[in-house]
Structures are given as structure tokens and as C-alpha cells.
Structure 1
Amino acid sequence: MDRRPTILDVAARAGVSKSTVSLVLKNSPQIKAETAARVRRAMQEVGYVYNRAAANLRSSSTGLIGLVINDLRNPFFTEFAASFQMALFARGYATVISNSGEDAAMQAAIIHSMIEHGVSALAISPAYGDVTSTFDQLARANVPTVQVLRQVSSRTDKFPFSSFDFVDGGGQAARHLIASGARRIAFVGGLEGRQITAERMSGYLSEMQRIGTEPIVLYGQPSRNAGAELAQQIMREHPQVDAAICFNDLVALGMMNALEREGQRVGEDFRLVGFDDLEESAQSLPPLSSVSCDITSFGEKTASSLLDWLTKGVVPPATHRQSVRLVTRASSGGRGV
């Protein structure tokens, strides 16, 4: 036989049906001992090898976890995905990872496909948009699902949410800049109307209110290009601004490049703080101050809590916020830091 033997070959050799062979493979008590012996003998004769792992994946996908990320091009989300996947691998689970590209319709199709392929559990950093039907489908399928980093469903009893204390992070950054002598501080980047933007900006707004200063907010895409453009806008329209808290490190790095090109010495003439503390931020010139979120440990803890839900029935808390800390470097602490 040139091809790999199949269950049909075993059935033909043993003179039984395909379903009988399947029941023998599952050690079903419905099959008489003599019939089971004949089937197993036929398996040896035709050289059939039962792939139990593949059968498990077909029947229930035990050991297969789904991960849907809104933007894998962003290093922050990539680092989370890597730590999540590695933590699952260490405990014997495989991960299927998909990027929704900030597209709610694509996200829905991806999740539908994952459910069809029988993932045992799912973690999702969701795209924004109309997601009601998607989460309804997950509820019907009874797939343990956690929302991470972004919350789009309010049903946290069914879809627990975990992220970071971004509000406190924004407050830490603002207090640091105030203490460093900054006179006018702006919040730069992030899309208006998004919960994640509001969270990261909230601590800043509270501190501006505390010191009686009118906030200056410039919205934009969370990217380097947007950061560079927003830096130009600040220099053109708000020349009094001498410090900024950025929605993320990508925006801050884009701002830094644009400011330096215009002769502004970041850390001296203009102070910058980012969010996420990407690895690149410590290597920039000057090194970028940033609100550190320890995304690696977050990925590991997310994997652990999801597996505890799946294997022990321990449902994660409805909402969990991991603490953050400000890492001060030369971009806000002066070139001597």
C-alpha cells in the first residue's frame, strides 16, 4: 500500500463498518471482545496507526487555545502574544494566533473559524466596532473567553476583562512632569472616543485640574508618523507647550524625532513621557521615559488564569487591573539622567 492506511482499510480487512472501528478505537463497551480483537488484528495487518492527538483536536481541540489580537504590528501586542503563547506551551497547550487588523468584521470571521475548529478557550484583545453578535456566538458556544487590554463587551461576568491601571499611569507621568518644572503639558495621540484613550488620559486630566491648568489634548493614530505630525502641530499651534504625555511609545518616538529635527532638545527644551515601555524606548536617543506595563508577566498571568478556568473551573475576576510604574529616563529627566 503506497498511501497511509486509513480507518476504511481497517474496516474492510476486519469485515466491519467504519463506525465499529471507531468504537473500538474509543474502547467502547458496546463492541464484543471478539469483534474488538478482530479489528485490532486488522489494524496490525494493514499497518494502521491511530493518531490520538489529531482525533482529540477533531473532537474537542483539547490543548488548543485561540488568541485574537487587534494589531500584531504594534510591538506592545506582539510581546503580549509571545509571552502568552510561550506560557501555554510550557503547560502543554498549543496556541493559534490571528490578527484582526482593527477590523471588527474580520475579527468576527476569525472567531467563527476558531469556534468551528474547536478551540478550548480564547483570549481576545478586541478591535472596536459592532461586536455584539461575535460575543453572542462565543456565549452560545460556551468557550471560556477573556478580554485583555481592551474591553468591548460589558458582560464581564461571562467575558472577564484584564488590563493595566492606565489611569494611575497617566497620573504618575503628569506628576513627574510637573515636578520636573514643565509649565504646559499636553496629552498627545490616541483616537478620540476610545475607552483606552480615555483611560490613559484620565490621570493626566485629573492632575491638570488639581494644579488649575487647562489641559491640551491632541488626538491621533497611535503611530510614529502621527507622533511626528502632532509634534509639528504643537510647535505650530501651541508653542507654549514644553512637555507631553503620549498615548504610547510609538507616538512619543515619532514626536522625539520631529522635535530633534527642529532643534528642540528632548529632555531639556521639551520633556516627553510615553506609555508601554517598549524595549526600543530604553535604546532611543535620548532614552524615552515611559509608563511600564510589564506586558511579559501580564501575558503569562493571562495564560495561567485562562487555563485555571478551563481545567479547574476557576473563573477569573470580572475585572482585573495590573499595576504600572513610571520609568524615568533622559527624555523627561534631563540629558544627565
Structure 2
Amino acid sequence: MERRPTIVDVARVAGVSKSTVSLVLQNSPLVRAETRRLVRETMDKIGYVYNRSAANLRSSNVGLIGLVLNDLRNPFFTEFATSLQMALSERGYATVLANTDEDAAIQAQVVSAIIEHGISALVISPAYGEEMATFDLIARAGIPTMQVLRKVDPRIDLFPFAAPDYRLGSLIATKHLLDLSARRIAFVGGLEGRAVTQERMSGYLHALAEAGMEPLVLAGRSSRAFGREAAEILSREHPDVDAAVCFNDLVALGMVSGFTKMGRTVGQDFRIVGFDDIEECSQVYPTLSTVHCGIAEFGKQIATTILGWLEEQRAPAPEALSAVELVVRETSGRGKRA
């Protein structure tokens, strides 16, 4: 006896995704009329019969994606969240969003809560500290989960990781400043002991080692306030430093503010390169040179990846790094020093 056609068969014959067929069966307004008609005609053609009672048993978690982020106050993460959510919405999925504010205890709490709400998959940019409390919980739930932007759990076969290529970013930023004949370059921002700090600093360290230049690292919170403080420290304690690569754009923007307050001209007296390329970088004065991470496109890419995992059983690569590029603006200028 031949098997009964399934929703996967309908999707294959109609040339649409499994989620589109599901939306048609739910009479969702998100599906265009011509697509709805094609799917219905395909069902009739292959003899598919919708088992509504079975579907109801599954409906508690169909179409709901969890998104947990460590710092929504940072525009970098906000842009990522917006891009991911919009891309998922276009495919008929809803997003449950939670901010952990860099608190591991809150992270474990919110992850537990959204799992109880019946999510299909989870995307997490994790907080540091007591990581196993969160990731062991996810593992027990058996939910497809991606680590993004930060990697805290080494089990990337179970929790695949994706991020921009941080090492390359700080490498090209540092080489840019070296090409401008910077006498000494500092790396500013990022808390000590965090893997993401080391990753964003590694290219800087490599470039300086090649150039035979001693590094100077000012670790601290990735905030404007620390950037302003760092400008004062460098001017007072390290007058030989005339350039900096920053952990992120917030630190860089704080440094610009701090140097301006002291009467130093950023882009001439001191050159600065940020990291992330948030929207404000091109709007401030002087405009901020930075490492562009393409975070909006990255969000869309993660949406495609997680839905491929859900709908087509295509597990992501254990680790994937996306392209970055240097955007040169006024804070590092374009010409070499005299």
C-alpha cells in the first residue's frame, strides 16, 4: 500500500517551502493569492488530505522563534534583532525577544520561560558566566539553537556559532593606522577575560607583532563613558600614543567626545577606528572610521540559516565567519602623516 502524501510532498511538487504550505493550511493572510491557489491545486493533484487534529497537536510550537540578546541598549544588537525579526516575519514566523542585560542569571530565566512557551528554534547572543546553566537547559529541550556574535559554549556541533570575522576586522583597522605612520597604537575597550574581547583584539596584536611595535591595551566596559575616560588616561599617562583601535563604536564615539573636550583634534592629533559601523558613525562629526560588520545582512543570513535547519533539516556549519571591511572616514583621515 502506497504511503499517504505529506506536507513535504506538497511543498516539493509546488516548488514552495514547507512553511508556506503550513501557512496556506492555516489560511494565513501572509500568503499571496496565486501562491495559495498553486498550493491548493497541488494538494488536489497528489491527493493530500489535511489532518487537522494532528496539526493541532503540533501547533503549540510551529512558527515561533526565540531570540535572546545580551545587550539591546547597544545599537549593534538592536540592528541585528530588527533585521532577523523582519526576515523571519517575511517567512511567516513570529519572534519572541528577550534582553539579558549581560546577566547570566536573567539569561537562564528567560531561556527557560521562552522554551516553556513552545519555540521551534532559538538564536542567542549569550551573556558570560555560568553558561552551562543556560546551554544544558537548551540541550535537554532538544531545540535547534545557534550561538551568534559570541561563542560561550564549545559544543559547536550542538550549538553552531556564527559571527563577523572579528580578527580580520582589527587586523585591517590596525594596518590602516600603521599605513598612516601612527607612532603607537592602543586597543581600547572590552572586558578582560572575555573571549569576544580576545577575538576582537587578536588581529591588532598580530599586526603590531609584525610591525615590531609594543601593544597597549586599555580594558574596560564597551561604553561611551569608558571611551571618554580612556581619552583622558591616554593623554595623561601615554602621550606617545597617537592612534587607537576600539572594541566597538560606542567606545570610539566616547573617545572622540573626550578628546574634543580636551581640545585635541581627532583625525589629526589622534586617529581612531571603531568596530561595528552602527548608523551613528556616519552621522556624527567628525565621522567615525570603523570596521563594517554588515550586521543587517548578517541578521537576514541567520534567519535563512535557522529556517533551513528547521524546514529542510540542513544543520548549519559548526562555525561560520562573515565578511568585514574597513570604512575610512574623518577620524582616521585618508592621507599619511607628514
Q: TM-score, normalised by structure 2?
A: 0.82
User: Partner residue of 1:151?
Assistant: 151
The C-alpha deviation readout for 1:18-38, integer Å capped at 9, x for no partner, is: xxxxxxxxxxxxxxxxxxxxx
Distance 1:132 1:99 in 2: 18
How far 1:283 moved relative to its partner? 1.1
CA shift at 1:137, angstroms?
A: 1.5
Residue 305 of structure 1 corresponds to: 305
- The amino acid of 1:240's aligned partner reads D
User: Does the alignment pair 1:195 with 2:195?
Assistant: yes
Correspondence for 2:282: 282
Alignment map for 1:1-337 (pairs within 5 Å): 59-333=59-333
Aligned-residue CA RMSD (Å): 1.7
Partners of 1:278 and 1:134 in 2: CA distance: 29
Conservation of the 8 A alpha-carbon contact between 1:167 and 1:202: yes
Distance in 2, Cα, partners of 1:250 & 1:335: 25
Deviations 1:133-181 (A, max 9, x none): 3211111111000000000100100100000111011010011001012
Q: Secondary structure at the match of 2:158?
A: coil
Unmatched runs of 5 consecutive residues or more in structure 1 = 1-51
Give, in angstroms, the shift of residue 301 of structure 1: 0.5
Amino acid at match of 2:115: I
**What CA distance in whole angstroms lies between the structure 2 residues aligned with 1:199 and 1:104?**
21
**Structure 2 Cα separation of the partners of residues 195 and 59 of structure 1:** 38
Checking the alignment, whether the CA contact within 8 Å between 1:58 and 1:117 is kept in structure 2 is no
SS in 2 for 1:113: helix
Partners of 1:256 and 1:232 in 2: CA distance: 11
State the distance in 2 between where 1:335 and 1:154 align.
Answer: 43
Counterpart CA distance in 2 for 1:98 and 1:322 is: 24
Partner of 1:27: none
Distance 1:56 1:286 in 2: 57
Deviations, residues 293-328 of structure 1 (Å, cap 9, x unaligned): 000000000011001101111000000000100000
CA-to-aligned-CA distance 1:52-107 (integer Å, 9 cap, x gap): 9xx95985320010000000000000000000000000000000100011011110
SS in 2 for 1:320: strand
The amino acid that maps onto 2:131 is V
- State the Cα distance separating 1:241 from its structure 2 match: 0.4
Q: Distance in 2 between matches of 1:200 and 1:290?
A: 13
Residue type at the aligned position of 1:327:
V
SS of structure 1 residue aligned to 2:268: coil
Give the aligned residue type for 1:303: A
Which segment drifts farther, 178-187 or 129-138?
129-138
Q: Is the 8 A contact 2:162 2:319 kept in 1?
A: yes
Q: Which runs of 5+ in 2 are unaligned?
A: 1-51
2:180, 2:335 within 8 Å by CA — same for their partners in 1?
Answer: no
Contact kept? 1:267, 1:335, Cα under 8 Å: no
What secondary structure sits across from 1:284 in the alignment?
coil
Separation in structure 2 between the aligned mates of residue 107 and residue 176 of structure 1, nearest angstrom: 38
Q: Secondary structure at the match of 2:122?
A: strand
Distance, in Å, in 2 between the alignment partners of 1:57 and 1:94 is 19
Moved over 4 A (4+): 55-59
Q: CA deviation at 1:334?
A: 5.3
State the percentage of identical aligned residues.
57
Cα deviations by residue, 1:200-232 (Å, 9 ceiling, x for unpaired): 111110111111111010001000001000110
Confirm or deny: 8 A CA contact 1:171 1:207 kept in the other structure. Answer: yes
Structure 2 distance, partners of 1:255, 1:240, is 16
The answer as to whether partners of 2:104 and 2:131 remain within 8 angstroms in 1 is yes
1:257, distance to aligned residue in structure 2 (A): 0.7
Instruction: Report if the CA contact (8 A) 2:289-2:332 is conserved.
Output: yes
